[in-house]
Amino acid sequence: MTEGPLLNRLLITGAAGQLGRMARQKARPLARHIRLSDVADLAPADDHEEIVSCDLGDKEAVSALVEGCDGILHLGGISVEDHFSKILNSNIVGVFNLYEAARHHGMPRIIFASSNHAIGFHKQDVQLDASAMMRPDGLYGVSKCYGENMASLYHDKFGQETLIVRIGSCTPEPRDHRMLATWLSEDDFISLITCAFRAPRLGCPVVYGASNNDACWWDNGAAKYLGWCPKDNSEEFRTKLDREQQRPDPNDARSLYQGGVFTEDPIYPD
């Protein structure tokens, strides 16, 4: 017997971004209907898709966006270091709005796209697990720490289940030598999302979003119960990177810190 969709309606926020566009294609089998949202323009809806423009900072709009969904893939928000006012609206106010909307609309499971930049000031020679202290490398990283703590609060206070994914570098292939440790293949990300929606019990685990790379800084042992087994390995790209790029100096931020050059970003004035 063929297994049917896990969800009736999956909401994907940030659907116009790089990860959102990928998920729009590869997450289709997970749900009968996909609701796609962003403030940026989206390609016209296909069958079984809905497109809803929504500013995450608008509480009423976010409530309407979440209503009727039984799963949320939250990729929306600012995804790089930026001015605090922009981060504040989408990554802080927007996250609160999302969790309040979920609380009032049946508490659908949430996949929260956190980031390795929540722990970016840890050195690369330190292996981290889910209990590692947050060490954000910028205001963007701080906003992801906030989102992780919001997920924890709503789980403890209301029972809202969230998978917190500290995404490394989810790209078709690693773009530099640092990404040999942080790379998360698109297929491995989709398989993680599938595990989160399929699991009888999710809770509120922290999972480091990286494939089965030989180069590894992160330990996901605490989340083994989800049954996620990433299959891809960045090692197949090492020879190509060695041929095309010079390895960074050992004292370069790209070699020292897990967050790489994000540790060198300034605080942008508003």
**Residue 164 to residue 141: CA distance in whole angstroms:** 14
260: left (phi over 0), alpha (psi -120 to 50) or beta: left
Number of other residues whose CB lies within 10 A of the CB of residue 191: 18
165's enclosing H/E stretch is: strand 162-167
Q: What is the Cβ-side half-sphere exposure of residue 90, based on CA atoms within 13 angstroms?
A: 21
Structure tokens at 268: 């942008």
Q: Are 178 and 238 in contact (CB under 8 A)?
A: no
Active site residue 208: no
* CB-count burial class (<10 Å; 0-12, 13-18, 19+) for 159: exposed
Among residues 99, 140, 146, 208, which one is catalytic?
140
Kindly list the catalytic residues.
Answer: 140
